[in-house]
């Protein structure tokens, strides 16, 4: 199979449900940012994390394909091949946030993104996730979007913050406290 099609050479791309849109369309910014987030999570896994966290990260990477597919397919599409983001996916993130958060030291200050390599990549992933969320909000302002997508991505940024803290604790890396003026 050839990897190139030449169909996008003039700045458009096809959607899962059919039709073509500009590569500058807000929909592409939304799901392209989710794709970027998935790649950053691949860096986290490659950098190495504890097996429990790795398993959860691999699941989230798979879920991000669902998010991307949902965003790439207009909500009105009746394409049966598309799996949509569900509230159960968000509930699973919340359960993990609660479980992991209960095992972490209480936060009384802001912390600087960093720590070990995996923790730092998870902090980067959180910021990419927040950017994706902003693009999804922009898309939702002009087209109908599955409301569970926005909930999932919003919760995922919290999940990534807790995962970064967990990865740093598991790697024996300390968290640097933010101090005004330093």
Q: Which residue has the higher pLDDT, 30 or 8?
A: 30
- Whole-number pLDDT of residue 75: 86
Is 73 a residue whose pLDDT tops 70?
Answer: yes
The alpha carbons of the chain give a radius of gyration, in whole angstroms, of 18
Question: Which sequence spans correspond to the domains of the chain?
Answer: 25-102+109-170
| CA–CA distance, 146 with 85 (Å, rounded to integer) | 8
Give me the residue label for tokens 């910021």.
127
CB 124 within 8 A of CB 113: yes
Residues 88-117: what's their mean pLDDT? 92
CATH fold group of domain 25-102+109-170:
Hypothetical Protein Ta1238; Chain: A; (1.20.1200)
pLDDT, averaged across the chain? 90
Is 12 a residue whose pLDDT tops 80?
Answer: no
User: Whole-prediction pTM value?
Assistant: 0.90
pLDDT (tens digit per residue) in 33-45: 999 999 999 999 9
């Amino acid at each position: 199979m050839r990897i190139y099609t030449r169909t996008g050479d003039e700045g458009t791309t096809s959607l899962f449900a059919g039709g073509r849109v500009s590569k500058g369309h807000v929909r592409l910014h939304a799901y392209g940012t989710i794709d970027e987030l998935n790649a950053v999570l691949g860096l986290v896994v490659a950098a190495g994390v504890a097996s429990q966290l790795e398993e959860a990260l691999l699941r989230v990477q798979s879920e991000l394909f669902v998010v991307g597919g949902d965003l790439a397919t207009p909500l009105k599409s009746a394409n049966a091949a598309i799996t949509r983001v569900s509230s159960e996916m968000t509930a699973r993130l919340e359960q993990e946030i609660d479980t992991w958060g209960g095992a972490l030291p209480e936060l009384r200050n802001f912390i600087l993104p960093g720590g070990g390599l995996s923790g730092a990549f998870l902090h980067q992933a959180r910021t990419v996730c927040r950017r994706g969320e902003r693009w999804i909000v922009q898309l939702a302002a002009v087209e109908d979007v599955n409301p569970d997508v926005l909930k999932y991505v919003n919760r995922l940024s919290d999940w990534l913050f807790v995962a970064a803290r967990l990865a740093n604790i598991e790697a024996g890396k300390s968290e640097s406290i933010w101090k005004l003026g330093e």
